[in-house]
C-alpha cells in the first residue's frame, strides 16, 4: 500500500507535519476560541460577560468541528483538490498511521468506524455500570444528586444509539465489506466516508462531556418541554447527536450509491449478498429519517437559543414526541436490520447449505423498512387518546411478520444442514434467541391495554435491550469473529471464543430478563431512588450486569489479541463463496487487481465450484 | 425421522410451557387492585397462551439443529430446488404469522379498545368519583370537587389519595404549577401511574386527560407498595421522589376521611 501512495512523491520534498489528529485538535481549539470569543464578547455579550454563553458555545462548537475536520485531513484530501490543487507534499502516513488520518481506502474507514464505535460502546458501557452500581441501593449513594444519575442515563443511551447501534454495522462493517462483497475496489464516494468517520469521535466526546455545560435529565430522547427546563447540558446532546447522525447520513448516501452503481459484472439483484440488501434498506431508512430528526433537534436548539416556545405548554409538546418517535422507531430497525441480514449472510457459510427462501428474506427486510415508518406512536400509547391507538397497534403487530421471515430463512437454512458449531454460529444462535425474547415481549408492548401497564417501566428497558444488545450487539461480535481472518489474516482461539460467548450470554440474559420482573413489580424508569421492596432484584440485576460488562471487555481483549497475534489462517478459512473472501487477508489498497465476474449465486453451497472468477487480464 | 423427533419435543415443550402459563400467568402483574389491571392481566395471559408454542418452536430449532445436525459430513447433501426452498413450509409459516397477528389485533387489542371507549362514555361515568389530579415539579396534588376537598393531605401534610372501593373513579389529569402559574417553562410531562391499577396516563401541559379506574380491593401503600402513585415519565431530578400514598377504603371510611379533611381545612 505504501508504494501505491508514495511512488510519485520524491523522497526529499516530503514534509512530515504534526500528526493529523494533533493538527485537528489544534485547529478545533483555535476555531472554538475565535468564534466563542466573537460571540460572547463582541456579537452577543450577556450581562456580566460570561466567557461561555449558550449561543457562543453552539457556534464555537461548529467552528471547532470544521477546524477538526480540516486539520485531520479534509484540507489536503478534499478542499484543495476541489480547487484543482493537488498538494502531494504532505504525507498522511502509512501502516498504522493511516488509521489516524483521513483515508480514501474504504477498509481503513471501516476499521476507523469500528474502533470509534467500540470506544463509544465502552464509554457508554461504563455509564451503564455506574447506573447499575447506583441502583444496588434504593437510596442515593453513588451519585450525590439524581440529576447526575439521569445525565448518566442520557449519556449512556445517546452514545449507545447514535455511535454504536446505528454506526458499528453500517459505518463499520458496511464500509469495510460492501465494496469487497460486490466486487468493487472502492466505494462510490470515498471522500464522503473519509470525512464522515471523523464526526463519530466528535459526537461521542461532545455527548460524553455534556455535563460541562450542566445536567440534562431527559434521557436519550430529549423529551420536551423538560429539555427546555433542564440545565444547559442538553445543548451538547443536540450537537453531539447532530455530528453522529450526520456521519450516519453521509455513510448511507455512500453505501446506497455503492450498492446501486459499483457492482461488478454478474453481481445482479438476484445475487447481491443479504448483507448488501441489509445495508441498502438501512441506508434508505437513514436517508429518510435522519434529516427529520436533525430538523427536530434544530427546533429544540432554537427553542433554547432564541428562545422559541415550539414545544412548551403554549406551543405543542406532543409535537416533539411525535417528531422524535417518527424517527425513533425506524431507528431501532436501523439498528437491527443489519443484524438480521448478517444472520442470513453468515449462516449458509457455517452450515454449507444454500440460503433458504432467499426472496422471502429480501421481502422481509424491505417490508420491515416500509412498515417501520408506520409504527412510531406505539411509544406514545400513554399520551394519546384511545381512538388514536388502534392504527399504530395494528402496524406494530404486523411488523412482526416480515421480521419473522428472517427467522424462517435461517431456520430453513440450518435444517438438515451440516451444522458447524463455531464461535460465530454460536453467537448468532444466541442473538436469534435473545432477539426472539425481545420480539415476543414486544407483542405485549404492542397491545395498548397491556402496554399502559408496561410502558415506562423496567419491562420496557428489558425489552429494548433484548432487541438491541440481543439482536445487534451479539451479531456484531459474531461478525467480528467471523471476519477476523479478513481483518488480520489471523483467527481467534476457539476455546476462549466459546467462553466469551457463554460469558456474555449468561450476563446478558441474567441481567435483562430480571428487568422484566422488576418492571412488572412496579419499578419505573429513570429513578436512582426506588421503594426498598425492589432492592433484591436490583442487586441481582446489577451483579449480572457487571458480569456482562466484564464479558464484553473479555471479548474485546480476545479479538484484539487475535488480530495481533492469533493463529495465522489461510485467506478463506470458512470456504465461503462470497466475494469478500476472494481478496487477500487484510486486503491492500486494491481489493481486486482485476474485476471479478460473478457466475453464480454466492450462497450455492449445494454445488461445487466458485461463485465468481477473476478473468484473465489479457482476454 | 428428524421431523418426528422435533415435533414430539416441540409438543412436549409447548405443553410444559402452557402448564407454566397456567401456573405463573395469573401472577404476571404481581398485584392487581382494579378491573382495568385484571383486563390487562387477562389480555397478557391470552398472549402468553399463543406465544408459548411459537417461542418453543424457534428456541427448539436453535438448540435441536446444532445438536442433531452437527458434523453431518456432506453425506445427505440437499441439492437443487429442494435445498433452497420448501413451498409448504413457507406457506404455512406466512399464513400462521398473519393469522396470529390478525387474531392479536382483534383480541385483545380491539376488544380492549372497545372497553376503553366504553369506559369514557358519559352514561358509564354516572355517579363516578371525580378526582382532580394536578402534577407539577415535583408533586402529585389531589382534589375532590364533589366533596369540596381542594388539597387532600395526610396529617403530616403529604399529598394522599383516598379512594372508595367498588366505585368508578374518574381522574382528571392536568400538569401545571399551581404555585407559579405564570412560569410556563416549569410545566413538563408527567405520567400518572398506580402500578396495582395496571394503567398509566401521561399528564401533558396545556391539555386535560382522563383516566377511569374501578378499584376492587381494600388496600393501601402501607400494605402493598404497588399501591402508590408514582410518576412514570421522567420529569427532572425530582422524578424519583414524585410519589404519593394511596388508600383504597370502604365507603364509610372514605366519608369519614372526607370529614376529617374538612376539619383540617383541606
Delineate the domains of chain B, giving CATH numbers in brackets: 2-70+81-119 (no CATH), 128-263 (2.60.40.420)
The mean pLDDT value for A545-574 works out to 95
Domain boundary among A102, A130, A151: A102
User: Does pLDDT of A413 surpass 90?
Assistant: yes
A279: closest CA of chain B, how far (Å): 23
Most B CBs within 10 Å: which of A450, A457, A530, as the mutation test of the B interface? A450
Q: pLDDT value at position B80?
A: 66
Does the distance separating the beta carbons of A520 and B90 come in below 8 Å?
no
Please tell me the predicted confidence (pLDDT) of residue A90: 56
**pLDDT of res. A91:** 56
Q: CB under 8 Å to A579, separation ≥6 — which residues?
A: A180, A181, A182, A183, A264, A267, A273, A596, A598, A602, A611, A612
Closest chain A residue to B184 measured between Cα atoms? A313
What averages of pLDDT result for each successive group of 10 residues across chain B (266 residues)? 93 97 96 95 96 97 90 61 85 96 94 89 93 95 96 95 96 92 83 96 92 96 96 95 96 97 92
Sort out which chain B residues have CB atoms less than 8 A from A408's CB and list them. Answer: 89-90, 93-94
The most confident of the ranges A225-234, A584-593, B48-57 is B48-57
| Chain B residues inside the 8 Å CB shell of A606 | 77-80, 83-84
Residues A410, A532, single domain; the answer is: yes
- CATH label of the domain that carries residue A260: 1.20.210.10
Question: Please, how many CA atoms are within 13 Å of residue A281, restricted to the half-sphere of its CB?
Answer: 29
Closest by Cβ to A529, choosing from B109, B115, B241: B241
Residue of B nearest to A603 (CA): B84
A312 with B231: Cβ contact below 8 A:
no
Q: Would you place residue A5 in the very low, low, confident or very high pLDDT band (cuts 50, 70, 90)?
A: very low
Please give the pLDDT value at position A617.
63
Q: What is the ipTM of this complex?
A: 0.95
Which of B61, B101, B186 lies at the smallest CB-CB distance from A398?
A: B101
In a domain, A619, yes or no: no
Residue A619: CB atoms within 10 Å: 4
Q: Tell me the helix, strand and coil percentages in chain A, rounded to 5.
A: 70, 0, 30
DSSP B149-168: BSS-B-TTS-BEEEEETTS-
Local structure of residue A480 (DSSP, 8 states) = H
**Residues A300, A290 within the same domain:** yes
Note whether A58 and A138 are same-domain residues.
no
Q: Which residues contact A371 (CB under 8 A, 6 or more apart)?
A: A395, A398, A399, A402
Q: What is the mean pLDDT of residues A102-117?
A: 94
Answer whether residue A195 is part of any domain.
Answer: yes
Which residue is closest to B93 within chain A, CA to CA? Answer: A408
pTM of the model: 0.95
Q: Does A221 have pLDDT greater than 60?
A: yes
How many other C-beta atoms are found inside a 10 Å radius of the C-beta of residue B232? 25
pLDDT in tens, A118-155: 999 999 999 999 999 999 999 999 999 999 999 999 99
What's the mean per-residue pLDDT of chain A?
92
- Chain A hits for B71, Cβ within 8 Å: 418-420
- The pLDDT of residue A11: 45
Q: CA-CA distance, A558 to A574, in Å (whole number)?
A: 20
A601 & A583 share domain: yes
Q: Which residue in chain A is spatially nearest to B70 when comparing CA positions?
A: A419
SS (H, E, C) A489-514: CECCCHHHHHHHHHHHHHHHHHHHHH
- CB-based contact, B98 to chain A, within 8 Å: yes
Interface contact flag, A412 B89, Cβ < 8 Å: yes
Q: Pick from A150, A215, A401: which is nearest to B97 by CB?
A: A401
Residues A62 and A41 in one domain: yes
Q: Are residues A577 and A452 in the same domain?
A: yes
**pLDDT at res. A14:** 53
**pLDDT over threshold 90, residue A294:** yes
- Residue in chain A lying closest to B40 (CA): A450
Residue A613 domain-assigned (yes or no): no
CB nearest to A412's CB, from B86, B137, B201: B86
pLDDT digits (tens, 9 = 90+) for A469-497: 999 999 999 999 999 999 999 999 999 99
Does residue A250 form part of some domain? yes
Flag if A525 and B37 touch (Cβ within 8 Å).
no
Residues of B in contact with A425 (CB under 8 A): 66
A173 and A70 inside one domain:
no
Residue pLDDT, tens place only, B83-135: 788 999 999 999 999 999 999 999 999 999 898 888 889 999 999 999 999 99
Choose among B187, B207, B234: nearest Cβ to A218.
B234
- Hey, are the CB atoms on B69 and A398 less than 8 Å from each other? no
Domain assignment present for A617:
no
**3-state secondary structure labels for all residues of A105-123:** CHHHHHHHHHHHHHHHHHH
3-class secondary-structure state, position A355: coil
Q: Are residues A370 and A437 in the same domain?
A: yes
What residues make up the domain containing A461? 103-607
Judge if A82 and A219 occupy the same domain. Answer: no
> What's phi and psi for B141, nearest 5 deg?
-125, 130
What confidence score (pLDDT) does residue A3 get? 41
- Contact with chain A for residue B189, Cβ under 8 A: yes
d(CA A130, CA B240): 17
- Considering the domain architecture, whether residues A444 and A493 belong to the same structural domain is answered as yes
- Chain B residues within an 8 Å CB radius of A390: 109-110, 113
Domain count for chain A, please give it. Answer: 2
Per-residue confidence at A256, pLDDT binned at 50, 70, 90? very high
A618 within some domain = no
CB contact under 8 A, B189 and A317: yes
pLDDT, residue A183, reads: 93
Q: Which residues of B touch A452 (CB under 8 A)?
A: 40, 198-201
Structural domain ending residue among the three candidates A102, A128, A155:
A102
Inter-chain CB proximity B109 and A397 less than 8 Å? yes
| pLDDT confidence of residue A12 | 45
- Which of these ranges, A3-7, A75-79, B29-33, has the smallest mean pLDDT? A3-7
Strands (E), A427-584: none
Q: Which of A79, A102, A125 is the last residue of a domain?
A: A102
Q: Is residue A124 part of a domain?
A: yes
Does residue A318 form part of some domain? yes
What pLDDT shows up at residue A1? Answer: 38
Residues A37 and A110 in one domain: no
Tell whether B96 lies on the interface with A, counting CB pairs under 8 A: no
Higher pLDDT, A432 or A618: A432
Whose grid coordinates read 449468561?
A506
Alpha carbon distance A352, A337 (integer Å): 23
* Closest CA–CA distance from residue A441 to any residue of chain B (Å): 10
- Interface contact A531-B236, CB threshold 8 A: no
Q: Which of B51, B74, B209 sits opposite A440 (nearest CB)?
A: B51
Which residue among B43, B66, B238 places its CB closest to the CB of A447?
B43
Per the structure block, which three cell numbers stand in for A121? 460502546
Nine-digit cell string for A186? 472502492
User: B residues 18-37 near A, CB within 8 Å?
Assistant: 28-30, 37
Across A276-285, average pLDDT: 97
pLDDT given at position A16 = 62
Going by pLDDT thresholds of 50, 70 and 90, the confidence category of residue A591 is: confident
Our CA-based measurement puts residue B263 at a distance from the nearest CA of chain A, in whole angstroms, of 32
User: CA Rg, chain A, in Å?
Assistant: 24
Asked if B113's CB is within 8 angstroms of A386's CB, the reply is yes
Give every CB contact of residue A492 below 8 A, 6+ residues apart in sequence: A423, A481, A484, A558, A559, A562, A566
Q: Is residue A319 located within the same domain as residue A350?
A: yes
Separation CA B59–CA B76 (nearest Å): 25
Amino acid at each position: 500500500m505504501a508504494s501505491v501512495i508514495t511512488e510519485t512523491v520524491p523522497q526529499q520534498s516530503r514534509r512530515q507535519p504534526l500528526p493529523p489528529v494533533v493538527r485537528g485538535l489544534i485547529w478545533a481549539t483555535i476555531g472554538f476560541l475565535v468564534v466563542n470569543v466573537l460571540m460572547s464578547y463582541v456579537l452577543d455579550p450577556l450581562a456580566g460577560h460570561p466567557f461561555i454563553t449558550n449561543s457562543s458555545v453552539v457556534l464555537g462548537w461548529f467552528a471547532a468541528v470544521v477546524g477538526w475536520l480540516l486539520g485531520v485531513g479534509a484540507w489536503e484530501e478534499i478542499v484543495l483538490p476541489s480547487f484543482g490543487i493537488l498538494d502531494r507534499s504532505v504525507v498522511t502516513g502509512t501502516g498504522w498511521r493511516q488509521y489516524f488520518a483521513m483515508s480514501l481506502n474504504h477498509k481503513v474507514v471501516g476499521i476507523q468506524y469500528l474502533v470509534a464505535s467500540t470506544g463509544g460502546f465502552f464509554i457508554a458501557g461504563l455509564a451503564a455500570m455506574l447506573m447499575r452500581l447506583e441502583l444496588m441501593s434504593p437510596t442515593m449513594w453513588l451519585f450525590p444528586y439524581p440529576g447526575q444519575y439521569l445525565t448518566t442515563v442520557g449519556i449512556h443511551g445517546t452514545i449507545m444509539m447514535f455511535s454504536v447501534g446505528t454506526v458499528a454495522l453500517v459505518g463499520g462493517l458496511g464500509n469495510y465489506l460492501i465494496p469487497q462483497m460486490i466486487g468493487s475496489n472502492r466505494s462510490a464516494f470515498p471522500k464522503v466516508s473519509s470525512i464522515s468517520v471523523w464526526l463519530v469521535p466528535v459526537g461521542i466526546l461532545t455527548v460524553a462531556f455534556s455535563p460541562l455545560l450542566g445536567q440534562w435529565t431527559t434521557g436519550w430522547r430529549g423529551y420536551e418541554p423538560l429539555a427546555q427546563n433542564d440545565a444547559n447540558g442538553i445543548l451538547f446532546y443536540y450537537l453531539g447527536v447532530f455530528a453522529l447522525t450526520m456521519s450516519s447520513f453521509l455513510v448511507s448516501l455512500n453505501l446506497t450509491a455503492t450498492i446501486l452503481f459499483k457492482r461488478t459484472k454478474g453481481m445482479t439483484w438476484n445475487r447481491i449478498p443479504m448483507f448488501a440488501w441489509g445495508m441498502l434498506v438501512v441506508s434508505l431508512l437513514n436517508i429518510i429519517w435522519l434529516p427529520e430528526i436533525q430538523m427536530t433537534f434544530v427546533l429544540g436548539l432554537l427553542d433554547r437559543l432564541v428562545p422559541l416556545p415550539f414545544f412548551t405548554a403554549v406551543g405543542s409538546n406532543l409535537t416533539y414526541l411525535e417528531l422524535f418517535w417518527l424517527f425513533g422507531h425506524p431507528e431501532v430497525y436501523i439498528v437491527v436490520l443489519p443484524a438480521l441480514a448478517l444472520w442470513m449472510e453468515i449462516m449458509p457459510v457455517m452450515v454449507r447449505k444454500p440460503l433458504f427462501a432467499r426472496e422471502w428474506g429480501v421481502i422481509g427486510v424491505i417490508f420491515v423498512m416500509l412498515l417501520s415508518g408506520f409504527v412510531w406512536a406505539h411509544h406514545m400509547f400513554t399520551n394519546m387518546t384511545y381512538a388514536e391507538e388502534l392504527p399504530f397497534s395494528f402496524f406494530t403487530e404486523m411488523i412482526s411478520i416480515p421480521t419473522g421471515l428472517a427467522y424462517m430463512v435461517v431456520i430453513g437454512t440450518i435444517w438438515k444442514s451440516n451444522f458447524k458449531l463455531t464461535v460465530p454460529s454460536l453467537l448468532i444462535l444466541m442473538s436469534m434467541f435473545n432477539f426472539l425474547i425481545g420480539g415476543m415481549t414486544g407483542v405485549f408492548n404492542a397491545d395498548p391495554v397491556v402496554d399502559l401497564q408496561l410502558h415506562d417501566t423496567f419491562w420496557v428497558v428489558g425489552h429494548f435491550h433484548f432487541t438491541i444488545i440481543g439482536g445487534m450487539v451479539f451479531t456484531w461480535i459474531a461478525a467480528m469473529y467471523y471476519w477476523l481472518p479478513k481483518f488480520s489474516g489471523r483467527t481467534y482461539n476457539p476455546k476462549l471464543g466459546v467462553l466469551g460467548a457463554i460469558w456474555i450470554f449468561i450476563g446478558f440474559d441474567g441481567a435483562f430478563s430480571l428487568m422484566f420482573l422488576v418492571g412488572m413489580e412496579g419499578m419505573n424508569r429513570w429513578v436512582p431512588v426506588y421503594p426498598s421492596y425492589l432492592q433484591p432484584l436490583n442487586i441481582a440485576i446489577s451483579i449480572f450486569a457487571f458480569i456482562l460488562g466484564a464479558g464484553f471487555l473479555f471479548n474485546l481483549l480476545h479479538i484484539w489479541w487475535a488480530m495481533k497475534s492469533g493463529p495465522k489462517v489461510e485467506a478463506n478459512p470458512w470456504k465461503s463463496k462470497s466475494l469478500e473472501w476472494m481478496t487477500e487477508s487484510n486486503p491492500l489498497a486494491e481489493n481486486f487487481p482485476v474485476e471479478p465476474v460473478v457466475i453464480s449465486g454466492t450462497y450455492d453451497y449445494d454445488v461445487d465450484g466458485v461463485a465468481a472468477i477473476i478473468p484473465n487480464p489479457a482476454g | 425421522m428428524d421431523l418426528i423427533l422435533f415435533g414430539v419435543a416441540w409438543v412436549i415443550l409447548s405443553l410444559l410451557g402452557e402448564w407454566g402459563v397456567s401456573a405463573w400467568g395469573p401472577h404476571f402483574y404481581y398485584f392487581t387492585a382494579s378491573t382495568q389491571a385484571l383486563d390487562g392481566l387477562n389480555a397478557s395471559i391470552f398472549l402468553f397462551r399463543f406465544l408459548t408454542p411459537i417461542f418453543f418452536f424457534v428456541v427448539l430449532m436453535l438448540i435441536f439443529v446444532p445438536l442433531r445436525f452437527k458434523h453431518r459430513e456432506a453425506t445427505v447433501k440437499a441439492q437443487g430446488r429442494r435445498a433452497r426452498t420448501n413451498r409448504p413450509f413457507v406457506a404455512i409459516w406466512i399464513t400462521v404469522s398473519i393469522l396470529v397477528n390478525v387474531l392479536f389485533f382483534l383480541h385483545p387489542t380491539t376488544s380492549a379498545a372497545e372497553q376503553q371507549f366504553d369506559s369514557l362514555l358519559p352514561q358509564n361515568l354516572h355517579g363516578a368519583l371525580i378526582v382532580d389530579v394536578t402534577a407539577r415539579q415535583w408533586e402529585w396534588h389531589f382534589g375532590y370537587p364533589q366533596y369540596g376537598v381542594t388539597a387532600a393531605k395526610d396529617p403530616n401534610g403529604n399529598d394522599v389519595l383516598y379512594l372508595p372501593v367498588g366505585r368508578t373513579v374518574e381522574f382528571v389529569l392536568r400538569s401545571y404549577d399551581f404555585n407559579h402559574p405564570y412560569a410556563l417553562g416549569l410545566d413538563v410531562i408527567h405520567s400518572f401511574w398506580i402500578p396495582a391499577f395496571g394503567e398509566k396516563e401521561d399528564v401533558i401541559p396545556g391539555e386535560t386527560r382522563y383516566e377511569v379506574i374501578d378499584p376492587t380491593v381494600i388496600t393501601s401503600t402501607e400494605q402493598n407498595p404497588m399501591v402508590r402513585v408514582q410518576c412514570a415519565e421522567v420529569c427532572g431530578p425530582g422524578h424519583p421522589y414524585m410519589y404519593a400514598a394511596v388508600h383504597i377504603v370502604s365507603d364509610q371510611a372514605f366519608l369519614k376521611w372526607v370529614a376529617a379533611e374538612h376539619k383540617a381545612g383541606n
